[in-house]
Structure 1
Amino acid sequence: MMPSAAIVFEDYMTRLTRRRFLRDATLGGGAITAAWLPGWAQPVSAGIAQGIATPLPTLSGDTIALRVAHQMMTIDGKPSHAIGINGTVPAPLIRLRQGQTARLTVTNDLDEETSIHWHGLLVPFQMDGVPGISFPGIPARSTFTYEFPVIQAGTYWYHSHSGLQEQMGHYGPIVIDPAGADPIGSDREHVIVLSDHSPLHPHTIFRKLKLQGGYFNYQKQTLGSLLAGRDQSAGERRMWGGMRMDPTDVSDVTGATYTYLVNGHGPGDNWTALFAPGERVRLRIINASAMTNFNVRIPGLTLTIVQADGQDVKPVTVDEFQIAVAETYDVIVEPTISIAYTLVAEAWDRSGMARATLAPRVGMTAVVPALRNRPLATMADMGMGTMAGMDHGSSHDMPAMAHPATKADDAAAACPPEHAAMGHCTPGAGASGTAAMAGMSHGMRDFANAPGLPKTPTVQTVAPMPVDRTGEPPQGLGDAGHRILVYRDLVAVKSNPDPRAPSRRMQIHLTGNMERYMWAFDGVKLNEVKAPIPFRQGERIRVTLVNDTMMAHPIHLHGHFFELVTGHGDHAPRKHTINVAPGGTATFDLTADAVGDWAFHCHMLYHMHAGMMQVVTVRPDGAGIDGKTEAA
């Protein structure tokens, strides 16, 4: 499809503006006024406000009324159109208590259908809120009541599952207090909702991606950066060019159009969380963005992770962590002196950041660090297996395959039999990477390594040697120089509710075509699926996700928690969303204990919208199990 004349002209003007920007920078000796800087390059600390310490409005009780409507919101002093709930973006904090029955009445004031999905909550499938799967949706100018028992505690969130409304502001936080005493003690807490917002309508964003997958990537490699030695070698660039891929293409939608928000406020608004020195402060951090993974740190403070996806974990002390789209992490910080700290939530492609202040009083600020160098995709992100350790820094000082398998399930995650049978990994490959070099000879475009995948446009690449990367720092953080959270650090506080070994295994490939912006499971988009993924009620399944693309994918299963296979036995961390690294694998064990039809999808909004979604059906009799699975 050829781009329209309007798109061509818009691209020309964008390039012209950037050339003038660079010319003026040269002529002015590098002194550039902030007005000339495009949004993606604005200094974060320009025009810092005195501070906004207003918490999100809170709703609680057995009966809660929510109204979905168009509204305006102000970000860094600029008005922008949005969809909000009860007049706010994010939507109000819903605070419930474990053991109560919640009744939430939603009135739709839009001229289109809407919905609310209670992300991470275990509810009857009719209350899960996915139009066309679990209920018909909420028609325009109508009201629907959700009612369900609250059986868990923790930090969660809610959002629209209709169209692309989530991108426009239709999301909000949920906190569920435990029925008894909270085992995570704190003196004060703050809910922090991270998100991304664009003045462009989400359908405009999607159209631009369909026309040109890298449309929003303004951080492409240049001849100047190559000559300066900041980027890859000429040989590496030729290799990438041969595959028609760009190693800077880490994120589909970037700070070129996004402003990154904390509780609906831009970096210049200086949203502030208050504390008193000596307090133990709990930060409930939710990534409600449409397309952005965030790297979170608070320079000068240690972060103690105490909860992941609403589930308690043994405390892990780190300096930084990545929170993928749809994940939640509860963090304890203990500031002891009366100074301000900057909460930095840097977009994973380093094209911008969400920023807030942690301070004893409103109006205080701390230094806002500059954006770090953009990450570049590596051979590991291409699925080159043991080559990971040769070009990809890691604070663990070991490539993924070199982590010792402490338990049988750890070894299975690194190279399960079905992977070996399909040529997708080589158990015991040495650090020399000989096997990986062999894989490089046919590259990511050779479909022979995945005979079960259809040869369709939705399968543009196949990772020759994908390996479990849950022990590695997330993309771009391997050389951060301080402690980074990895999935293998997470250990459940309590033993898992179902200790049974899986009775069967299944493998699901995450596939895509960046040039045509098509995404799918096993090469099949949602509108092409002939039957749902069938599970028997109560069965135990080991699922391995294989990422054949060079984009990370946060995969979410509705209605269930699963246990990550990371070597912790019956204390495996329980999650509802797992971020699968580019060219990598992730394995989890699942008990199919919720009868009904459940959405299963990538939580990158435009990936889901482009087809990376299917339906999981759980039935008592297990009818319909097909050749997609095999005995363990």
Structure 2
Amino acid sequence: MPVHGLTRRRFLQSSAAFAALSALPACSLVSASRDNGMWEYHLSAEPSTASLVPGHQTDVLAFNGKIPAPTIRCRQGEPVTIHFTNNLNEPTTIHWHGLRIPIEMDGVPFLSQPPIQPGETFTYRFTPPDAGTFWYHPHMNSVVQLGKGLVGTIVVEEASPVAFDEEHVLMLKHWHLDPQGKWKDLAIPRYSARMGTPGEWGTVNGVHQPKYELQEKATTRLRLANVDNTLTYPIQVRGADAWIVAIDGNPIATPRRLEEHKIAPGMRLDIGLVAPKAGTNVEIMYMKGRFPFLLASFTTTPSTLVEKPLPALPLNPVATPDLANAETRHFVFEWAGAITPADKQGKGKHEFWLMNKRAWEGMSKGNIPDPIATLERGKTYIFDLKNVTQYHHPIHLHGHTFTVLEMDGKPVTPFHTDTVLLGKNGHAKAAFVADNPGRWMYHCHVIEHMKTGLMGFVEVV
């Protein structure tokens, strides 16, 4: 049962509806409603426990107390209200990753809103202009809050819903756990200065190598979201012909065959496929060197469906860049070296990464650093992005959508994204219209890179 079919204020009042929805991957809503075109949700963050490693309980931080977090569903062009309550013992916020919404709703502490204190409720209200697969997470104490479980997906349906026979949301995350489900270090400085500290226990929707069923001949949409702090997943599908239909929530004009595609932290990938004959295993693989890992699998079951082509996705209404009059801004992402600055108490303050020779200074109430760039509202900019390190950097811009023009010196068929993955010594050119006023975070989405310098903000005035 799709969430948009609900009309009651309290979702739990319908036990049958709850049972149907909770059977879906990554879907465990506590309350939701859609009345008169308005979507309304209740969301909280709190300490909880989860059985991530079978047979063991792990202390986690969780939205609505559950792993996986609720998948919030809404519709393009329709208002959304989310009442968020902080039941943690520390401040937090919620950032709606990839959504082009007003700055007041972007969820960055001090820059766009005051931190939400323990016990407080903050109401987020916005109308998503784009359809697609997005996600949500805090923007405070990110290594811990994201690392211990505060990650969830938000699915924005098309204004005129596109009908697939089946749809599955798959959240990819490696947890920093030992075989007994006990926490290991979330960040180790020597790794923070390199690729980041990888987790060791891989899950999809909080389960290690989950198995699902899929009706044969079903037109299927798989919404993959990389909610990991560190890892980039090269993705491959085995057992079925699969097509890339959207990148980072944005449909591509002509779907292309999926051979292998990298999704870095913060990135998403929508895959379309027609389920093969009953008894076939369709496997989602993490192509790690010569030894790929199974992420999740689907076994096809008999059905009465009639085979048909995959439905087409309408493009999102992203402004077309005026390339003839665009201004180019250059950004270099590099390593700062081995010197560790110290604070007044002599404690090391790690700053391993630089953006244009500047490490992020941090911010607090009344202490906002200067922007890394000031942009004129309505003007087109080309961001020339250069990674001069050997490590991946997924560069994410809040509040806007890039149109990627070049990757590693070669023109590409332009596509839309909110996160550009720069590989080893990678180089990209991405254009956008600075049409959303405000102060927008701009950072690497490897969380340890972000927290040790590779972050800033651009101001659109």
**TM class, shorter-chain normalised?**
0.7 to 0.9
Write the mapping of 1:145-294 to structure 2, written as runs, cut at 5 A. Answer: 145-163=123-141, 164=143, 165-182=145-162, 185-199=163-177, 204-206=185-187, 208-209=188-189, 212-213=190-191, 251-254=195-198, 257-267=199-209, 271-294=210-233
Write the mapping of 1:374-523 to structure 2, written as runs, cut at 5 A. Answer: 497-501=319-323, 502-513=325-336, 515=338, 518-523=352-357
One of 538, 543, 546 as aligned partner of 2:378: 538
Displacement of 1:54 in angstroms is: 4.9
One of 525, 528, 549 as aligned partner of 2:359: 525
User: Secondary structure of the equivalent of 1:126?
Assistant: helix
Corresponding residue of 1:70: 47
1:145–1:259: structure 2 CA closer, same or farther, 3 Å change rule? same
Structure 1 residue identity aligned to 2:197: V
Corresponding residue of 1:625: none
User: Secondary structure of the equivalent of 1:275?
Assistant: strand
One of 307, 314, 332 as aligned partner of 2:272: 332
Q: Are 1:608 and 2:450 counterparts?
A: yes
Corresponding residue of 2:12: none
1:288–1:141: structure 2 CA closer, same or farther, 3 Å change rule? same
User: Secondary structure of the equivalent of 1:129?
Assistant: coil
Displacement of 1:492 in angstroms is: 9.6
Distance 1:334 1:342 in 2: 11
Per-residue CA deviations over 1:298-327 (Å, capped at 9, x if unaligned) read 222221011111111111012322111111
User: Secondary structure of the equivalent of 1:298?
Assistant: strand
User: Secondary structure of the equivalent of 1:75?
Assistant: coil
Displacement of 1:594 in angstroms is: 0.6
Corresponding residue of 1:20: none
Distance 1:593 1:510 in 2: 25
Q: Which moved more, 1:521-530 or 1:292-301?
A: 521-530
Distance 1:203 1:599 in 2: 29
1:120–1:266: structure 2 CA closer, same or farther, 3 Å change rule? same
Q: Are 1:305 and 2:283 counterparts?
A: no
Native 8 Å contact 1:293 1:347 kept in 2: no
Larger strand percent = 2
Native 8 Å contact 2:321 2:432 kept in 1: no
Native 8 Å contact 2:131 2:316 kept in 1: no
Displacement of 1:179 in angstroms is: 1.4
1:126–1:579: structure 2 CA closer, same or farther, 3 Å change rule? same
Identity %: 27
Distance 2:203 2:111 in 1: 31
Corresponding residue of 1:8: none
Distance 1:570 1:583 in 2: 18
Per-residue CA deviations over 1:419-449 (Å, capped at 9, x if unaligned) read xxxxxxxxxxxxxxxxxxxxxxxxxxxxxxx
Native 8 Å contact 1:116 1:130 kept in 2: yes
Larger helix percent = 1
For structure 1, list consecutive stretches of 5 or more residues without a partner in the other structure: 1-51, 216-248, 363-490, 620-632
Please give the TM-score of this superposition, normalised by the length of structure 2: 0.79
One of 67, 87, 94 as aligned partner of 1:109: 87
Displacement of 1:127 in angstroms is: 0.5
Distance 2:183 2:219 in 1: 40
1:359–1:514: structure 2 CA closer, same or farther, 3 Å change rule? farther
Structure 1 residue identity aligned to 2:416: R
**CA RMSD after TM alignment:** 2.9
1:76–1:357: structure 2 CA closer, same or farther, 3 Å change rule? farther
Distance 1:104 1:556 in 2: 24
1:281–1:196: structure 2 CA closer, same or farther, 3 Å change rule? same
Distance 2:77 2:131 in 1: 9
One of 138, 147, 158 as aligned partner of 2:116: 138
Corresponding residue of 1:465: none
Corresponding residue of 2:98: 120
Q: Are 1:576 and 2:418 counterparts?
A: yes
Native 8 Å contact 1:81 1:199 kept in 2: no
One of 259, 262, 273 as aligned partner of 1:319: 259
User: Secondary structure of the equivalent of 2:284?
Assistant: strand
How many residue pairs get aligned? The number is 396
Native 8 Å contact 1:53 1:274 kept in 2: no
Displacement of 1:340 in angstroms is: 4.1
Native 8 Å contact 1:492 1:574 kept in 2: no
Corresponding residue of 1:223: none
Corresponding residue of 1:629: none
Distance 1:495 1:613 in 2: 28
Distance 1:570 1:348 in 2: 25
User: Secondary structure of the equivalent of 1:594?
Assistant: coil
Q: Are 1:57 and 2:28 counterparts?
A: yes
1:350–1:94: structure 2 CA closer, same or farther, 3 Å change rule? farther
Structure 1 residue identity aligned to 2:229: A
Structure 2 residue identity aligned to 1:169: G
Per-residue CA deviations over 1:114-157 (Å, capped at 9, x if unaligned) read 11100111111010001121111211111111111222211111
Native 8 Å contact 1:280 1:332 kept in 2: yes
Write the mapping of 1:3-82 to structure 2, written as runs, cut at 5 A. Answer: 54-55=24-25, 56-58=27-29, 59=32, 61=34, 62-77=39-54, 78-82=56-60
One of 399, 402, 416 as aligned partner of 1:559: 399
Distance 1:317 1:557 in 2: 27
Corresponding residue of 1:440: none
**Rg larger for:** 1
Distance 1:340 1:515 in 2: 52
Structure 2 residue identity aligned to 1:131: P
